[in-house]
Amino acid sequence: MAQQAYVTQTDNGGSEPERPESRLRSLAHRLLDGWRGDPRIWRRGIVLAVLALLLALVMLLHAHVPNGVGNLGSLTETFLPWLGLAVPVLLLLALIRKSATALIAVLLPAIVWLNLFGGLLTDRTGSGGDLMVATHNVNAGNPDPAATATDVASSGADVLALEEMPASAVPVYAKALAPTYKYHAVVGTVGLWSKYPMADVRAVDIKLGWKRAMRATVTTPQGPIAVYVAHLPSVRVKIEAGFTARQRDKSADALGEAIAGEALKRVVLLGDLNGTMNDRSLNAVTSQLRSTQGAAGSGFGFSWPASFPMARIDQIMVRGVEPVSSWTLPRTNSDHLPVAARVKLDTSS
């Protein structure tokens, strides 16, 4: 059989390269030609089809993946969006195997993933807003705290929360942020800086034995709001123990209890929760508050690790206010990205 040449004739008798869409059509025709009349296209790829079905079930029923062994459920939910990467891999393998059964099966996890995360692929950001807030885990080992403070202050945030500040670095952050923020308070390793007056500052007990959470009333031009800053305990993935998150889960429950007892209707939570919105173990918090990224962001807004963000564990969550936009800020000297949001304060609240 003569080799097919990918050229088209021009009016002047010359030739030009075939257009990309023509090449795709030609490739599709050749692929289908290889499948026509093959009685085994429905019998091949059964293993691939089973894998596709299992993937769809894990994503669809992730809340039922047990946490009894190594917190496997929470680990799955932390990186749940990334399971979608298996879909194109399975699709490619189905094409290579020339399996119609596998191709149809791959549609199921694709549909489930789009149902779970398709909305995050759209731009939900709006304009305006009364208040800009930001939060940043600055990293205890930050080599240049002053530069990090200057970077996040330049974002224009009206209210800024910082987490993981060692006591030795607190004066550095305070000095660098003083020109931008008139009011600030530090409780343990977390702090809050504001352009508006703050009152009722107090520690929030998240059952750690040391202070990593606080609460303050910030009086904005639209009225007071309760601002919580929290840094929940870190989690680890260990071969012998799995996803070690028991202390994080206990602290999340305590933080949720504190927020549930908040007297003010308008609440903003800023901080590193060391968990995603999908993680069931943070339900005590996530069931009460809205994620600004989920409501008014663009994309997934991954914040950690800064070198290659894979999870949104730094959160801005609200109650009684309307998220307008949400985004990540440029990288600093920390291993986390700062995150920011603009919210609309309903003066009738």
| Tens-place pLDDT, residues 330-343 | 999 999 999 999 99
With residues binned 3-state (H G I as helix, E B as strand, rest as coil), the percentages for the chain, rounded to 5, are 35, 25, 40
Structure tokens at 252: 């999340």
| pLDDT above 90: residue 170 | yes
Task: Determine whether 55 is exposed, middle or buried from the number of CB atoms within 10 Å of its CB (0-12, 13-18, 19+).
Answer: buried
Side by side, the strands of the sheet bearing 223-231 are: 198-203, 213-220, 223-231, 267-272, 314-319, 290-291
Q: Which CATH superfamily is domain 131-345 in?
A: Endonuclease/exonuclease/phosphatase (3.60.10.10)
Has residue 7 got a pLDDT over 70? no
Query: How many Å apart are CA 86 and CA 109, to the nearest integer?
Result: 9
- Each residue's pLDDT tens digit, 244-303: 678 899 999 999 999 999 999 999 999 999 999 999 999 999 999 999 999 999 999 999
| Percent above pLDDT 90 for the chain | 74
Residue 242: its pLDDT value, please? 47
Which tens digits make up the pLDDT trace of 189-210?
A: 999 999 999 999 999 999 998 9
The backbone region for 322, taken as left when phi is positive above 0, alpha when psi lies in -120 to 50, beta otherwise, is beta
pLDDT computed for residue 233 by the predictor: 92
pLDDT of residue 8: 46
> Domain residue spans in the chain?
13-121, 131-345
Give the pLDDT score at 6: 46
Sign of CA dihedral 147, 148, 154, 159: negative
Q: What is the pLDDT of residues 29-86, one digit of tens each?
A: 665 566 666 778 888 899 999 999 999 999 999 989 887 766 788 888 989 999 999 9
- Gap between the Cα atoms of 162 and 149, Å rounded: 9
pLDDT band at 10 (very low <50, low <70, confident <90, very high): very low
What does the pLDDT average to over 12-40? 63
For residue 319, what pLDDT is reported?
A: 97
- Say if residue 148's pLDDT is above 90: yes
Inter-residue contact 151 to 341 (CB < 8 Å): no
Mean pLDDT (the chain) is 89
Contact 125, 151 (CB under 8 A): no
Handedness of CA 338, 267, 318, 273 (dihedral sign): positive
Cβ pair 151, 332 in contact under 8 A:
yes
